[in-house]
Amino acid sequence: MVVEQIQAVGEVSYPPLEPYHRDFLDVGGGHRIYFEESGNPHGFPVIFVHGGPGSHTRPAHRRFFDPDLYRIILFDQRGCGQSTPVGLLSDNTTPHLVADMDALRRDLNVERWLLFGGSWGSTLSIAYALAHVDRVAGMILRGVFLGSRAEVNWFLSGVRSFVPEAWAEFSRDAVGPLVEHYRRLTDAPGHAVALAAARRWCDYEARVMEPANACASGGAGSAQEMLARVRVQLHFLAHDFFLRPNELLDNLWRIRNQPVIIVQGRMDMVCPPSTALAVAQAIENCELRMVASGGHSALQPEIAQELCAATRHLRARLQA
């Protein structure tokens, strides 16, 4: 299904392009983060903040931005994607990730940049903006998530009314809270047990993302990649994303003058629209674009079209 989405997104996004610069940045604690640059080396800097936690960047993510006008920066967060070591959990917290982003900004000699983040990437973008408000020229957020207990509870149990078969399989034989249940399984000594649990977690996630698709599966990638991805995600879930209750929402008043556009799918089952509305109401200079038929994926054509429109809309203000 991911392949189909990438093909579809090409109809509304910019043409494929290759990076002109790839490298790794040593950020301490044994972590090296992968990053790349594409587009115009002298264009306005934009950083793509991927979701998860535990996911990674993809070539399709370069295509939300006009390559003639933007200096497009992608990076894989600690323990994710091409960053090394994959799946490493030590020194892997939200403050570490925020610090990594600013270390990357300094390494690339960027004064201010546009933040573009969806799902967990929206959480991390907001956390960065609150910590480094003077370094943020604006934000484009998609499928907004604030890391609250209510949002997590929705994903783990509330959404089961819409995907009862998937939830029944997801929660089968669970003992105690689901996050701790899956942490025990994915840390099990037996590789087969750990991999089966990771696959079940990813399949449930895929079904919630596409509730109308009974065959949705999240099992792409190698066994090592899947295990690493799920372990990182469970690590952040188990620690409430290393955020205090309402830490982000209560401090959005600090994001004053930067333009913010939120692209939100009304049919998003992973990150329901109520969070996007709460964020939009808390930021004075924010525009909420609700996509009637949109779901959670940034690569869904309806969502991708609005995201590309948002990057076009902001470029004039950023270059002024």
What is the DSSP secondary-structure string of 11-74? TTSPPP---SEEEEEEEETTEEEEEEEEE-TTSEEEEEE--TTT----GGGGGGS-TTTEEEEE
Query: What one-letter code names the amino acid at 239?
Result: H
Which among 38, 55, 83, 119 is annotated as catalytic?
A: 119
Q: Return the pLDDT at 9.
A: 47
Please say if 268 is a catalytic residue.
Answer: yes
Choose, from 31, 50, 268, 297, the residue flagged as catalytic.
268
Whole-number pLDDT of residue 2? 25
Would you state the pLDDT for residue 224? 86
Strands 44-49 and 113-118: parallel
Domains and CATH numbers, the chain: 2-147+243-319 (3.40.50.1820), 150-241 (no CATH)
pLDDT on residue 222? 83
The two structure tokens encoding residue 310: 């948002």
Instruction: Confirm if 226 and 196 have CB atoms less than 8 A apart.
Output: no
Residue where the block lists tokens 């800097």:
45
Catalytic residue flag (residue 296): yes
Task: Tell me the pLDDT of the chain (320 aa) as tens digits.
Answer: 122 233 344 556 899 999 999 999 999 999 999 999 999 999 999 999 999 999 999 999 999 999 999 999 999 999 999 999 999 999 999 999 999 999 999 999 999 999 999 999 999 999 999 999 999 999 999 999 999 999 999 999 999 999 999 999 999 999 899 999 999 999 988 889 999 999 999 999 999 999 888 777 776 678 889 999 999 999 999 999 999 999 999 999 999 778 999 999 999 999 999 999 999 999 998 999 999 999 999 999 999 999 999 999 998 777 76
Asked whether the beta carbons of 101 and 224 are under 8 A apart, the reply is no
Catalytic pick from 38, 235, 296, 297?
296
- Residue 320 is predicted with a pLDDT of 60
Contacts of 205 (CB under 8 A, 6+ apart): 218, 270
**What pLDDT, on the 0 to 100 scale, is given for residue 317?**
79
Location of structure tokens 């080396």 = 41
Q: Is 76 a catalytic residue?
A: no
Report the alpha-carbon distance of residue 43 to residue 26 in Å, rounded. 25
**CA-based R_g, the chain, Å:** 19
